[in-house]
Amino acid sequence: MDLKMKEILNKNNEIYAKECLMQALDIGLNFKLNADFKAKKYNKENMKELFETPLKGMELKELLRSFEKNILPYCSNFGNEKFMGFPDAGNSIAGISGAIIADFLQQNLINSSFCAPIATYMEIAVIKWFRELLGYEIKDIKDIWDVGGIITYGGTGSNSVAMMLARENFRKNTMINGVNNPSDYKVILPKGIGHYSIKSSLMWLGCGKNVIEVPTENFRYNLDELKKTVEKYKGKIMAVVCYVGDSRTMTIENLKEVYSIVKNSDPNIWLHADACHGFSLAFSNKLKPRIDGINLFDSISTDPHKVLTIPYCVSALLIKEPEKFKLVTSTSDLIMQEDFAWGQITPFIGSKSWVSLKIWFTIQNLGIENIGKIIEERCDMAKKFADIINETSDFVLLNDVNINSVVFMYVGDKKKINELDIEELNNLNSKIHTKLLDEGKYHLHKFTLPDDKGVIKKEEILNPLRYMSGNPNITVEVLTELLDYIREIVKNI
């Protein structure tokens, strides 16, 4: 059998296909269980080696061996317990199984009747589960307009659709007529902690970079300043965005207070909750009160691949009033005008893979209660790490731990914190982070952050390190070893 036929799945090569797939599975498992976050650092000067066009091709088994030897060591293992930069562990066995099966089954959810009959209804079930958890009303689902949510390929996509809904709610038929006077389409964000996806989506949507940043207090809106801002720009605000776990400190906004301020001023302003991280608290009866009031918001973005140990990429956007999706409907004779064709209400998405199957498998496998326990343990681990930081003499904690983010800095001697030079401190922590990246044993995140609490100096912009993990395998011992590792880095610096 020639190469081109040997590598296309059919009854004649079933044994060969199984052998290749088992080889691929072993590669994936060995990678996930590797001891370090990254085995080797890739030199970008070598990238041209990857650009050579493969004219002849090679047998898959040989290709897999080459991949394992020459590519895999340079990949970042988010599922390793020493990866503490994001919570995106992706190590749910059920989630990985769902991802594999979804690719095998090749269901296209753009249409339902012939492309993805049962897959469509299972995706609706996933959205219904999320709506129930977050407190949205559940309608009798007779068609796609009753569902009240869509699955997207990431939080940026969900936030972008939320801003499109806000735009259409603000000025009807903008999709058809275009954006006139973009400066009127203003969106309010908390200063210094907003996620890039909101600003980017506004530019993509033709609204321009018309963001108003309101001062914060302990990484939440300063409510007095928010009220003044809403009144000042009354009639020109299309949306106010809140973070239910912002992407730096995981602080949860004062949801009910913000709702009251905004809606009492102008009920037509679209309130969006970016809960890509914080929605996970809804799985736990113990933690759910922390996000009380989220069900009042017009839309909620969620990122299961961030917080439910599910592999990339899958997100869900939920809206309070399901029929509002009619504001962003576009139709074509290529999309069937049938009751359950997702293609009618999924902006930016044409052919639609069954990425929600990863969620379905994970929730069916663990159940809501066990997922809730995992989320509780994750938050408890962050609290323990914060306590460890507070007990040291050479690290400082910069945030109150609301969910699973611990933002901290190496300062050398806490007793002399008032004598510290901010620029030198920032440079030192940046060098620590660079060294972590170079060595590949541990990984923390780094970003800029205003010192909202005045731990070092009020309102100064800091370059802290950040622990945030969604990996159930992490232990207190690993966290203690991390701090010792950082101390060794400082000695060498």
Per-residue pLDDT at 336: 66
Phi, psi of 449 (to 5 degrees): -155, 130
Judging by beta carbons within 10 Å of its beta carbon (0-12, 13-18, 19+), is residue 114 exposed, middle or buried?
A: exposed
The structure tokens listed for 271 are 């309130």
The phi and psi torsions of 286 (rounded to 5 degrees) equal -70, -40
Q: What is the pLDDT of residue 385?
A: 97
Each of the 493 residues of the chain gets a pLDDT tens digit; together they read: 576 778 899 999 999 999 999 999 999 999 999 878 888 888 888 899 899 999 888 999 999 999 999 999 999 999 999 999 999 999 999 999 999 999 999 999 998 888 898 999 999 999 999 999 999 999 899 999 999 999 999 999 999 999 999 999 999 999 999 999 888 999 999 998 889 999 999 999 999 988 999 999 999 999 999 999 999 999 999 999 999 999 999 999 999 999 999 999 999 999 999 999 999 999 999 999 999 999 999 999 999 999 999 999 999 999 999 999 999 988 777 666 788 989 889 999 989 999 999 999 999 999 999 999 999 999 999 999 999 999 999 999 999 999 999 999 999 999 888 888 999 999 999 999 999 999 989 999 999 999 999 999 988 999 999 999 999 999 999 999 999 999 999 999 8
Give the span between the Cα atoms of 397 and 455, in whole angstroms.
8
Burial per residue of 264-276, b for 16 or more beta-carbon CB atoms within 10 angstroms, e otherwise: ebeeebbbbbbbb
CB-CB contact of 126 with 151 (8 Å): yes
pLDDT score for 493? 85
CA distance 174 to 433: 45
Greatest distance between any 2 Cα atoms in the chain = 75
Q: Which pLDDT score is estimated for 335? A: 62
- pLDDT on residue 270: 98
> What three-state secondary structure class fits 449?
strand
Q: What residues contact residue 185 under an 8 Å CB cut-off, 6+ apart? A: 167, 170, 171, 179, 202, 207, 208, 210, 236, 238
Nearest to residue 481, comparing CAs of 445, 442, 433, 432?
442
Cα 299 to the center of its chain, rounded Å: 16
